């Protein structure tokens, strides 16, 4: 469809309902709504959705405007650009896309609470927290914090991409004078807190001892491992949670809650020079005294808080921000421990909270004044503790993982604080996570213990419901009545049974779209809108890049790599294969036995087999080429880089059964390449490397 026809259709579809929306006290999506609607089949919010959002608006504490004061306080300067570009001219960061939040309008297709948060997240530029403490905000998903030492800067959390980190440093140089970076602190293991380090630090200076890099206990293991085993599945799911393929507009991507989005640059990693091993350690760097408190298995498995006794500043890393964070992240990850999380907030409250004058974090804006800090710390402590305790309370009364999100309610006094609203986690998906953590996925009903797969059960439902026409008719009725969850229930069955039923898919997409508009949580919103998008047009053709950069692969242990080879190996093709390989990497003194037996690949470090089929001796630095996919093991052997003894055919056998994963599998049936004509710009395909939050 050409652009003019596309626009004409949009105007035809959308205009009548815009009038209706305006009548409800909302305005449409800015000056040219049709221009911003991203899909020809896209619908504006229905009257039912408008009513839901109106109710939300009436019950939320909009009179509390403290966040807006805190967000603005200490503003020094904004940059004179809205985009940060990479060396090749690619757009790494784009605030331009979110300028619609500055139009002072209420968008009928965005939950008022999410719109409020995304408007706050338009804070963009350099801010003074107190003299000596500065933050650049709005340059990435994360804030970058600069603390002035005697001779230079100590930088907390250098963003996701070197490009954005460099741009932030240049803004600091311009307004505060040019000083070297003498220390870097990675507050935790998620990539948006370290991936940009090469933008502000030269590795040679780190090696020469001019720059210290400080990180919490077990940082390296978790920075790398969290994303490897299920990495491809996470990449695909990131498209849902982060809506990376959705255009930014009131009908699509409307901010990510923690910030507007993630930078899409050349993520790198310089290894820390100083790990905080003890629970609490005090360090002085460039004249700045810092007390570090390890907070393992909270927002990240490796994370720490920092207390600055001289200035009475408390850095809460990502454990206390302006949102209810994820206990379970929709991209997929191990479920987090909200009780441990709450306890470390409590420890910080009692250890530092009584003296703190300012609280800063890696997302959102600071809190000033001891009363406010204590309020936020207590509120967040109770938020995470409440969901843990009350969900388990309900579970002990028999509420299951399939009911809890409809039963658990955050107490009003907690929910009425803006900083406890679900812009990343939500009471719904986090409550299910708590049950999942303690009891697992099974609800205890034998009928759900070994259920049919959806594609196998759905045809029976469709048959018993009287076929497609009846379901579509009822689906339309439910849709028109605003009963979207009910409509989804039956239409999903039909789509599962008849993946090529265009009418069913379009109707389910319409239902998903309305559910999406109604969400306060951007991850849930994006998931429904992305689902609608794929039902209408299929999975977009351009597959996102695999962005594990060389730094990250280099930091991967050989054991982790071998584990992943075991995951890539298709066990179904390995029946009857059997071999043992000794792998020796002399430059780092490691050795492994790799065994293929029972169609399963195992490895063990520190041992060698007495009777291997093959022994491979290769330096770890050369193995890296294989790990990055730049060379195959066969090539390394042929080139003499790897020395071998024994039967090299086992390498070929193994290679022949390794799958290459690509993040374009179907999330919804019948969506694989069914004729979409979506053009993606590189930014839209963007930040799939982020699996951090
Ligand atoms: Zn973060």
Q: Return the structure tokens found at 82.
A: 């809205």
- Whole-number Å distance, alpha carbon 68 to ligand 1 midpoint, is 21
Report the separation in Å between the CA atom of 652 and the middle of ligand 1, taken as the mean of its atom positions. Answer: 42
| Residue pLDDT, tens place only, 300-326 | 999 999 999 999 999 999 999 999 999
- Residue 664: the pLDDT is 83
The residue behind tokens 């091993």 is 277
Expressed in angstroms and rounded, the spacing between residue 361 Cα and the centre of ligand 1 is: 10
Give the pLDDT band (50/70/90) at residue 258. very high
Higher per-residue pLDDT: 200 or 12: 200
pLDDT confidence of residue 38: 65
Q: How far is the CA of 330 from the centre of ligand 1 (A)?
A: 15
Distance CA 468, CA 505 (A): 12
Mean local confidence (pLDDT), 349-378: 98
What would the mean pLDDT of 160-174 be, rounded to a whole number?
Answer: 97
Ligand 1 centroid–CA 444 distance in Å is: 36
Asked whether residue 541 carries a pLDDT value surpassing 70, the answer given is no
Q: How far is the CA of 409 from the centre of ligand 1 (A)?
A: 26
Angle at 690 between CA 684 and CA 691, to 5 degrees: 130
d(CA 585, CA 82): 48
Separation of CA 587 and ligand 1 centre (Å): 35
> Is residue 16 scored above 90 in pLDDT?
no
Give Cβ neighbours of residue 489 (< 8 Å, ≥ 6 apart).
none
Residue 563's pLDDT band, with cuts at 50, 70 and 90, is very high
Element holding 428 (H helix, E strand) = helix 427-439
Cα of 362 from ligand 1 centre, angstroms: 6
Give pLDDT, residue 12: 25
Question: What is the whole-number distance in angstroms between the Cα of residue 187 and the centre of ligand 1?
Answer: 9
From ligand 1's centre to the CA of 249, what distance in Å? Answer: 23
pLDDT bin (cut points 50, 70, 90) of residue 580 is very high
Rounded distance from Cα 660 to ligand 1 centre (Å): 29
Residue 60 has which token pair?
């939320």
* Pick from 261-265, 449-453, 604-608: least confident: 261-265
Find the range with the poorest average confidence among 219-228, 563-572, 604-613, 637-646: 219-228
Determine the pLDDT at residue 491: 98
Three-state DSSP state, 495: helix
248 Cα: distance to centroid of ligand 1 (angstroms): 21
Q: What is residue 693's predicted lDDT score, i.e. its pLDDT?
A: 62
Ligand 1 center from residue 159 Cα (angstroms)? 9
Angle, in degrees to the nearest 10, between helices 112-120 and 47-59: 60
**What per-residue confidence (pLDDT) applies to 39?**
77
Residue 353 per-residue DSSP state? I
User: What angle, rounded to 10 degrees, do the helices at 502-517 and 522-537 form?
Assistant: 160
Residue the block writes with tokens 């503003």: 75
Characterize the bridge pairing of strands 212-216 and 181-185. parallel
Give the span between the Cα atoms of 677 and 73, in whole angstroms.
46
**pLDDT above 80 for 606:** yes
pLDDT for the residue numbered 7: 29
Q: Which pLDDT value is given to residue 266?
A: 87
Average pLDDT across the chain, whole number: 90
Q: How many residues does the chain have?
A: 693
C-alpha of residue 290 to centroid of ligand 1, in Å: 21
DSSP H or E segment with residue 1: none
pLDDT 10s digits, 217-237: 999 999 988 878 888 899 889
Q: How far is the CA of 275 from the centre of ligand 1 (A)?
A: 20
Ligand 1 center to 238 CA (angstroms): 15
* Paired residues of 94 in beta bridges: 83
Q: How far does the centroid of ligand 1 lie from the alpha carbon of residue 363, in Å?
A: 7
Q: What's the CA-to-centroid distance between 424 and ligand 1, angstroms?
A: 11
Give distance in angstroms: CA of 143 to centre of ligand 1: 9
pLDDT band at 169 (very low <50, low <70, confident <90, very high): very high
Q: What percent of the chain has pLDDT over 90?
A: 82
Handedness of CA 392, 393, 398, 402 (dihedral sign): negative
Alpha carbon of 190 to ligand 1 centroid (Å): 6
Give me the half-sphere count of Cα atoms (radius 13 Å) on the Cβ side of residue 199. 29
**Centroid of ligand 1 to alpha carbon of 189 (angstroms):** 9
Write out the two tokens for 585: 């990497």
- Helix 522-537, helix 231-241: angle, nearest 10: 100
**Average pLDDT over every residue of 525-547:** 81
Please check whether residue 251 is in contact with residue 36, taking contact to mean a CB–CB distance below 8 angstroms: yes
- Token digits of residue 161: 């991409």
Question: Which residues are close to ligand 1, an ion, with C-beta < 5 A?
Answer: 142, 192, 318
The model's confidence at residue 550, banded by pLDDT at 50, 70 and 90, is: confident
How much distance in Å is there from the Cα of 537 to the middle of ligand 1?
32
Q: Ligand 1 centroid vs 192 CA: distance in angstroms?
A: 5
pLDDT of residue 689: 37
Per-residue pLDDT, 17: 24
Nearest to 39 by CA among 6, 8, 16: 6
Closest C-alpha to 358, from 127, 140, 157, 142: 127
**Is pLDDT at 400 greater than 60 in this prediction?**
yes
Model confidence at 542, in pLDDT bands (50, 70, 90)? low
Contact of 186 with 213, CB cutoff 8 Å? yes
pLDDT (average), residues 247-270: 93
Distance from the alpha carbon of residue 4 to the mean position of ligand 1, in angstroms: 41
Please give the pLDDT value at position 262. Answer: 86
Q: For residues 297-323, b (16+ Cβ closer than 10 Å) or e, as one string?
A: bbbbbbbbbbbbeebebbbbbbbbbbb
Would you state the structure tokens that stand for residue 451, as one six-digit string? 């259920």
* 317 CA from centroid of ligand 1 (Å): 8
Question: And the tokens for 17?
Answer: 């309902």
Calculate how far, in angstroms, residue 228's C-alpha sits from the geometric centre of ligand 1: 19
Average pLDDT over residues 662-678: 73
Backbone phi and psi for residue 214, each to the nearest 5 degrees, phi listed first: -110, 135
The residue that leads in pLDDT, 2 or 289, is: 289
- Report the pLDDT value the prediction gives residue 628, as an integer from 0 to 100: 85
- Which whole number is the average pLDDT over 258-283? 94
CA of 289 to the centre of ligand 1 (A): 24
Average pLDDT over residues 575-595: 97
Q: Say how many Å lie between the CA of residue 515 and the centre of ligand 1.
A: 27
**If residue 182 lies in a helix (H) or strand (E), which one and from where to where?**
strand 181-185
Span 137-151, average pLDDT: 97
Rounded to the nearest angstrom, the distance between the alpha carbon of 528 and the centre of ligand 1 is 23
| Confidence bin at 663 (pLDDT 50/70/90) | confident
pLDDT in tens, 83-105: 999 999 999 999 999 999 999 99
CA gap 265, 255 in Å, rounded: 19
pLDDT band at 197 (very low <50, low <70, confident <90, very high): very high
Q: Is the pTM of this model over 0.85?
A: yes
- Radius of gyration of the chain from its Cα atoms, rounded to whole angstroms: 26
Where residue 10 falls among pLDDT bands split at 50, 70, 90? very low
CA of 59 relative to ligand 1 center, distance in Å: 29
How many A from CA of 191 to the centre of ligand 1? 8
Structure-block tokens of residue 493: 């069955």
DSSP, residue by residue, 349-403: IIIIITT-SEEE-SSS--EESHHHHHHHHHHHHHHHHHHHHHHHHHHHTT--TTT
Q: How far is the CA of 690 from the centre of ligand 1 (A)?
A: 10
């Amino acid at each position: 469809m050409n652009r003019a026809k596309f626009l004409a259709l949009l105007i035809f579809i959308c205009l009548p309902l815009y009038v209706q929306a305006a009548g409800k006290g909302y305005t449409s999506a800015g000056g040219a709504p049709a221009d911003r609607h991203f899909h020809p089949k896209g619908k504006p919010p229905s009257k039912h959705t408008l009513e839901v959002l109106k109710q939300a608006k009436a019950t939320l504490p909009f009179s509390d405007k403290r966040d807006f004061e805190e967000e603005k306080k200490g503003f020094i300067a904004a940059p004179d650009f809205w985009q940060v570009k990479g060396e090749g001219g690619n757009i790494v960061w784009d605030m331009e896309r979110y300028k619609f939040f500055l139009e002072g309008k209420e968008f009928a297709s965005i939950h008022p609470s999410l719109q409020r948060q995304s408007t706050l997240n338009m804070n963009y530029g350099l801010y003074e927290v107190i003299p000596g403490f500065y933050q650049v905000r709005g340059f990435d998903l994360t804030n970058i914090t600069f603390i002035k030492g005697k001779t230079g800067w100590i930088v907390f959390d250098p963003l996701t991409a070197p490009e954005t980190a460099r741009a932030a440093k240049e803004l600091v140089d311009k307004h505060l004078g040019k000083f070297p970076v003498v220390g870097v602190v990675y507050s935790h293991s998620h990539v948006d807190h370290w991936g940009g380090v090469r933008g502000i630090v030269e590795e040679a200076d780190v090696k020469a001892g001019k720059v210290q890099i400080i990180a919490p206990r077990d940082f390296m293991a978790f920075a790398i491992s969290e994303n490897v085993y299920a990495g491809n599945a996470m990449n695909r799911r990131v498209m849902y949670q982060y809506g990376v393929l959705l255009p930014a507009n009131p009908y699509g991507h409307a901010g990510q809650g923690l910030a507007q989005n993630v930078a899409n640059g050349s993520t790198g990693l310089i290894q820390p020079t100083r790990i905080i091993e003890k629970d609490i350690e005090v360090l002085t760097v460039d004249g700045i005294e810092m007390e570090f408190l390890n907070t393992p298995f909270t927002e990240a498995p490796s994370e720490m808080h920092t207390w600055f006794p001289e200035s009475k500043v408390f850095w809460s890393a990502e454990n206390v921000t302006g949102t209810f964070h994820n206990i379970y992240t929709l991209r997929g990850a191990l479920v987090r421990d909200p009780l441990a999380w709450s306890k470390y907030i409590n420890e910080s409250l009692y250890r530092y909270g009584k003296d703190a004058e300012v609280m800063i974090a890696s997302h959102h804006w600071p809190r000033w004044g001891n009363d406010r800090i204590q309020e936020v710390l207590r509120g967040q402590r109770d938020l995470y503790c409440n969901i843990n305790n009350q969900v388990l309370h309900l579970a002990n009364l028999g509420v299951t993982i399939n009911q809890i999100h409809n039963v658990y309610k955050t107490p009003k006094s907690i929910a009425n604080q803006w900083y406890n609203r679900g812009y990343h986690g939500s009471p719904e998906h986090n409550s299910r996570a708590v049950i999942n953590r303690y009891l697992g996925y099974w609800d205890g009903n034998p009928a759900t213990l070994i259920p049919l797969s959806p594609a196998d059960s759905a045809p029976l439902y469709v048959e018993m419901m009287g076929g497609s026409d009846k379901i579509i008719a009822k689906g339309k009725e439910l849709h028109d009545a605003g009963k979207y969850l009910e409509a989804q229930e039956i239409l999903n069955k039909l789509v599962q049974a008849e993946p090529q039923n265009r009418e069913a898919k379009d109707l389910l997409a319409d239902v998903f779209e309305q559910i999406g508009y109604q969400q306060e949580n951007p991850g849930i919103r994006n998931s429904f809108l992305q689902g609608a998008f794929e039902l209408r047009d299929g999975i977009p053709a351009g597959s996102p890049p695999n962005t594990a950069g060389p730094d990250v692969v280099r930091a991967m242990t050989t054991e982790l790599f071998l584990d992943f080879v075991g995951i890539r190996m298709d066990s179904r093709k390995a029946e009857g294969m059997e071999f043992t390989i000794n792998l020796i990497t002399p430059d780092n003194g490691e050795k492994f036995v790799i065994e293929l037996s029972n169609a399963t690949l195992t490895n063990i470090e520190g041992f060698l087999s007495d009777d291997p089929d093959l022994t491979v001796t290769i330096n770890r630095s050369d193995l890296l080429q294989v790990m990055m996919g730049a060379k195959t093991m066969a090539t390394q052997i042929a080139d003499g880089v790897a020395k071998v003894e024994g039967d090299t055919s086992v390498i070929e056998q193994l290679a022949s059964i390794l799958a290459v994963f690509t993040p374009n599998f179907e999330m919804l049936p019948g969506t694989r390449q069914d004729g979409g004509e979506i053009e993606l710009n590189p930014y839209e395909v963007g930040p799939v490397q982020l699996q951090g939050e």
